[in-house]
Amino acid sequence: MTPAVFDLPRWSATELARVEQALSDWVAAGGVVDAEHPAPAALREGMRYAVLDGGKRLRPLLVLAAREAVAAGEPAAATVGLNDAALRAACAVELIHAYSLVHDDMPCMDNDILRRGKPTVHVQFGEAQALLAGDALQALAFELLTPADSEAPASVQATLCRLLAQAAGYQGMAGGQAIDLASIGLALTEDELRCMHRLKTGALLQGSVMMGAVCTARVLPQATHTALQTYGAALGLAFQVVDDILDVTADSATLGKTAGKDAAQDKPTYVSLLGLDRSLAYAQELLAQALHALDASDLPNTQALRALADMVVNRSS
């Protein structure tokens, strides 16, 4: 049987409309200290600037696609609370991603002035506000996951917090950034480079997939769990390999960020290690791994996950 062609642009547009609206509603849109005092405007502006109107929203889409893959056919009545939890999880992973970009762009890290085609947060608002905006976005991610009046089970809320904290922390994204910092100018082996990227980019991408699965409140068979993890790991690594390729093949206008900066900063990349041709081949190999993990699983509805993996590997920006 040939499956119907999945319309990723259409699916993404529908899902992203919900995500963008939710981000606009939830990211420091208002807030008060008390009846007489609003929450500080400068901080709220910095947070919203960092999150809204930009980015491919890959992580939110992975959350929602993974949930669809696991939850296919679930009766709508049972899922009101879980729909909300999934949208919150989608926003939360994007807030963690956005905060990491704000901090990563600061002068003491990558010292970058352009992001998503706009001046970076510290250029626009100053370093101190950028530092605080990043800090507040991380806290807000966990606040979004734990609304007081949720109809989602508390166990789902708690599990989402655990997965996100692990993906963001010292054994995840922050750990990867630390390895990245320490490796500037060093000749890493492919094994060391893979290890760095598993944390720096892979942990949050894989975490997004697993968080989406949690928003079904189903206990997954071990094999299904492993299939999603394998998909997430292969996708996460593929994302970085392609990032390294685009850093040398695309221009800044296309990327919306400074092209060629890895080479300029003498950072080890897949292209510097494997060369361009082997990097391109490796990206395709990782895509095949990701798709194979889904094929070999009993997941009922993997079209969106498959299309996202294809998009990650075959994108041009």
Where on the chain is the footprint of a second copy (CB under 8 A)? 28, 31-34, 36-37, 39-40, 42-44, 47, 99-100, 103, 106, 108-109, 126-129, 131-132, 134-136, 138-143, 145-148, 153-155, 157-159, 161-162, 164-166, 168-172, 174-175, 177-179, 181-182, 191, 195, 198-199
Q: Cα–Cα distance between 317 and 247 in angstroms, integer? A: 9
Alpha-carbon span 14 to 12, nearest angstrom: 5
- Name the residue nearer to a second copy (CB basis): 110 or 244: 110
Least Cβ distance, residue 49 to a second copy (angstroms): 13
Q: Indicate the pairing of strand 118-119 with strand 114-115.
A: antiparallel
- Of 126 and 221, the one with the shorter C-beta distance to a second copy is 126
**Gyration radius of the chain's alpha carbons:** 19
Bridge partners (DSSP) of residue 38 are 32
Q: How far is the CB of 237 from a second copy (least distance, A)?
A: 13
Q: Which is nearer to a second copy, 180 or 247 (CB)?
A: 180
Please answer whether residues 256 and 53 qualify as being in contact, where contact means their C-beta atoms are separated by less than 8 angstroms: no
CB of 167 to a second copy, least distance (A): 8
Which of 185, 192, 141, 194 is CA-nearest to residue 163? 141
Do residues 131 and 100 lie in contact, with contact meaning Cβ atoms separated by under 8 Å? no
d(CA 281, CA 12): 27
Q: Per the structure block, which two tokens stand in for 96?
A: 């963690």
Q: Minimal distance in Å, beta carbon 2 to a second copy?
A: 38
Nearer to a second copy, 72 or 139 (CB): 139
Q: Measured from the CB atom, is 125 or 231 closer to a second copy?
A: 125
CB of 304 to a second copy, least distance (A): 28
